[in-house]
Structure 1
Amino acid sequence: MSKARSMVQHLKHAEGVRLLLTPNRSLSWRGNVRIWLCVVAVTAIIATGMALAGAWVIIPFAGAEVLALAAGVYLTSKACQRQEVLTINDGDIRLEKGRTRKLSEWTLPLRYARLRMNPPAHPFAPPKLALIHRDVHVSLGSFLNLEDTEALVSFLESRGLTVERKQPEPEGGLWF
């Protein structure tokens, strides 16, 4: 059985360590379009059959269904294109966020920055991570799964970043 590709990739960098964090992209854009076209074909066949049987009112609803599915596939694919690049050198830790190009960047002093781990909302979710220095509070890897989050935390801790683990709030009832 083959192991799934990690969403935390080590990149070569001359001045230190660079990590590329990406969400799980289980299917390419082309694959998403192919599945959508298959759904369109099946929907068209069914809608045509129903229209020929006299239920012509099904056609606008089938069209609305196909358009809603297209919008969902597009928005999901767009969200899966985001990425974060974390660079650690001798004195700084730099986080860059964006999709096809860098949209935002933060540089924090490695010596004084901390990685805060907030407890998960429920037992199956990963903890929420944030880089913190003074009044700067930047979320990190919000799209990572539990395994990749744990690997990222242990790697950053091995590089000298202080990890601040917040204790979960006491439970007063159901966990959800």
Structure 2
Amino acid sequence: MVEQLSRDDGDCFVLTPNRSMSWKGNIRIWLAAFFLSLAISAAMLLAGAWPVLPFAGLELMALGAGFYYTSRKCQKREVLTFGPELIRLEKGLTRKEKEWQLPRRYTRAWQDVPRHPWTPPKIHLQFRGEEISLASFLNMDDTEELIAILEKHGLRVEKRRRPEKLPF
């Protein structure tokens, strides 16, 4: 998702993955699965099939771990700020973990052409040999919007093909 914020130091864009459900929604789904599993396990226990209980517990723990992992990964955030002389990129999960300040004049933008037409292209910023991946979590429409934003702010996004990686 690409969201524009108004700030005094330049145009600012917040880039985040699309989240189909909030953390509270995930908890509600997990609780529904818990109560359904509890009802089924209780019926199996009354029927004499007690070994079902530990496996139901393991299944719920795995489901909860999957919800937590996915929700945590969806908390990624990148903030891209275009100032008069600098481009500032900040990356982090719940707080700023990394920051780059790149001079607008010498920064280049690359778009890796995907091998499959449904895959969104990957965008990179490059300055002095350092290549920084930009919002690799965006979907196709948001990636196109980001490319338009980069071009609007004076960065020409060049296309390139990465060499094929051998499977061995």
Please say whether Structure 1 and Structure 2 have the same fold, judged by a TM-score greater than 0.5: yes
**Which residue is equivalent to 2:140?**
146
For residues 64-143 of structure 1, what are the structure 2 equivalents within 5 Å? 64-143=58-137
The answer to whether 1:50 aligns with 2:66 is no
* AA at the equivalent of 1:42: L
C-alpha deviation, 1:76, in angstroms:
0.8
Residues 168, 131 of structure 1: CA spacing in aligned structure 2 closer, same or farther, 3 A cutoff?
A: closer
- In 2, the alpha carbon distance for the partners of 1:125 and 1:30 equals 30
Q: May I ask how many residue pairs the two structures share in their alignment?
A: 164
Report Cα offsets for 1:77-108 as digits up to 9, x if no partner. 11111100000111111100012210000111
Could you state the TM-score of these two structures normalised by the residue count of structure 2? 0.93
* AA at the equivalent of 1:158: K
Regions of 4+ moved over 2 Å: 167-170
C-alpha deviation, 1:168, in angstroms:
6.8
Unaligned runs of 5+ in 1: 1-6, 171-176
Report Cα offsets for 1:149-168 as digits up to 9, x if no partner. 00100111111012121147
Could you state the TM-score of these two structures normalised by the residue count of structure 1? 0.89
For residues 20-39 of structure 1, what are the structure 2 equivalents within 5 Å? 20-39=14-33
C-alpha deviation, 1:15, in angstroms:
2.3
Q: Percent identity?
A: 51
Residues 121, 59 of structure 1: CA spacing in aligned structure 2 closer, same or farther, 3 A cutoff?
A: farther
Question: What secondary structure does 1:12 align onto?
Answer: strand
- In 2, the alpha carbon distance for the partners of 1:93 and 1:136 equals 14
- In 1, the alpha carbon distance for the partners of 2:14 and 2:66 equals 26
- In 1, the alpha carbon distance for the partners of 2:116 and 2:42 equals 45
- In 2, the alpha carbon distance for the partners of 1:81 and 1:155 equals 22
**Kept after mapping to 2: 8 A contact 1:113/1:162:** no
* AA at the equivalent of 2:107: A
- In 1, the alpha carbon distance for the partners of 2:148 and 2:84 equals 18
**Kept after mapping to 2: 8 A contact 1:84/1:98:** yes
Report Cα offsets for 1:20-57 as digits up to 9, x if no partner. 00111111111110110000000111111112112111
**Kept after mapping to 2: 8 A contact 1:93/1:108:** yes
**Which residue is equivalent to 1:4?**
none
